[in-house]
Chains A and B, each alone.
Chain A
Amino acid sequence: EPEVTQTPSHQVTQMGQEVILRCVPISNHLYFYWYRQILGQKVEFLVSFYNNEISEKSEIFDDQFSVERPDGSNFTLKIRSTKLEDSAMYFCASSAGEGQPQHFGDGTRLSIL
């Protein structure tokens, strides 16, 4: 069964550094998402992406965050200058259409020191 893959599984970064989290969505999916889950808390929506542009973003997704689909397969989340509070599990998801099930990757655990 096709799946969403995320790399790396764990990223440790110094505060203030830039980090790029990578995702390969399911190949025939058109909608892409990033969510985050701070340890012990619920999953929060960050951003959705369709047709090469952001379709929706949350208040969390400020100017420090950006997303990109640099080629036909990858979908990346960049945090420009990381803060301690960015430490979380980051999930990428993709779906075939609006209202369709979103399939999640295994997540990247981001630890900011």
Chain B
Amino acid sequence: AQTVTQSQPEMSVQEAETVTLSCTYDTSESDYYLFWYKQPPSRQMILVIRQEAYKQQNATENRFSVNFQKAAKSFSLKISDSQLGDAAMYFCAYISGRNTDKLIFGTGTRLQVFP
């Protein structure tokens, strides 16, 4: 069974600085998708970024980028120029490419941003 691990329960960053959130996953499949979701205190789940496993190029979305290391099964999220509004719970998630659309989530990393 696939699993997603986020080993950092909490992280903090100074405003305008860069922070990297770690995520590793376990799968025997070669075709899958990876996501980062943000959950602010309002509790809404917001899609941050998506990566297809067959693409070697790392996904980028404005200040958010990923470092996807397929062989190492690692999918970290880098937030550049951190803003106060980035403070939230960040969840890494996995979807198999085989006949399932079930998102498997990690336990989350709480990011604090200090002015």
Contacts and interface: CB of A to CB of B under 8 A. Distances in A.
A91 B45 contact: yes
Most buried by B among A31, A33, A44, A45: A45
A24 to B, nearest CB: 15
B108 to A, nearest CB: 6
Interface in A34-81: 35, 41-45, 48, 55-56, 58
B44 interface: yes
Which of B43, B44, B97, B103 has most A Cβ within 10 Å?
Answer: B103
Interface residues of A, number: 26
A76 to B, nearest CB: 19
Nearest to B45: A104
A105 B97 CA distance: 24
A82 to B, nearest CB: 20
Nearest to B100: A56
A107 B97 contact: no
A85 interface: no
A99 B97 contact: yes
B29 interface: no
A48 B102 contact: yes
B49 to A, nearest CB: 9
B64 to A, nearest CB: 14
Contacts of B52: 99
A106 interface: yes
Interface in A93-113: 93, 95, 98-99, 101-107, 109
A106 B102 contact: no
B103 A45 contact: yes
Interface string B32-50: 0101010000111111001
8 contacts: A42-B105, A42-B106, A43-B91, A45-B102, A102-B47, A103-B47, A104-B37, A106-B44
Given A48-B100, A99-B52, A107-B43, 9 more contacts: A42-B108, A43-B103, A45-B102, A45-B103, A45-B104, A99-B97, A102-B101, A104-B44, A106-B42
